[in-house]
Amino acid sequence: MIERFYKIYEYQDASYVYHKDYTKYSGLKTDLHSFYINFLGNYNGKRWASAITYKDQLDTNYNYPLEYRTYRLEQQNLLWKNSLVWFNHRNEAFKVLLDAGYGKNLLKILWK
């Protein structure tokens, strides 16, 4: 996905005619990859739910007037969520949650 940002200049000429100029200022290119895996099951009368989510994103910004890339942002996120639920003989619920996460963000300033 590429997003472009513009600066708008409005002015009036000598003939009193209004003009609008759209000048391309910068562009942001995003590459995004993500996936997830879910699991639901029973284990010895206990209900188990587990999910793994991964996201990898790369953003690059380009400055059009100066004709160079200004920065690059790399992100990686990995999440693992688990829950275990069981009931006792009085139908009381017990729940155990385990969540783990890993994230990495790297910002590179690029010069001409």
Q: What's the confidence (pLDDT) of residue 2?
A: 61
Q: What is the mean pLDDT of each run of 10 residues along the chain (112 residues)?
A: 72 87 79 93 91 93 77 92 93 94 89 58
Q: What's the confidence (pLDDT) of residue 8?
A: 80
Residues 112 and 87 sit within 8 Å (Cβ to Cβ): no
Please choose, from the candidates 86, 88, 93, the residue with its C-alpha nearest in 3D space to the C-alpha of residue 45: 86
Q: If you search the block for the tokens 């890993």, which residue do you land on? A: 102
Q: What's the confidence (pLDDT) of residue 3?
A: 66
Our CA angle for 8, 14, 15, nearest 5°, is 100
Our CA angle for 10, 19, 13, nearest 5°, is 95
Q: What's the confidence (pLDDT) of residue 96?
A: 95
> pTM of the full predicted structure?
0.62
Please choose, from the candidates 37, 35, 44, 41, the residue with its C-alpha nearest in 3D space to the C-alpha of residue 83: 41
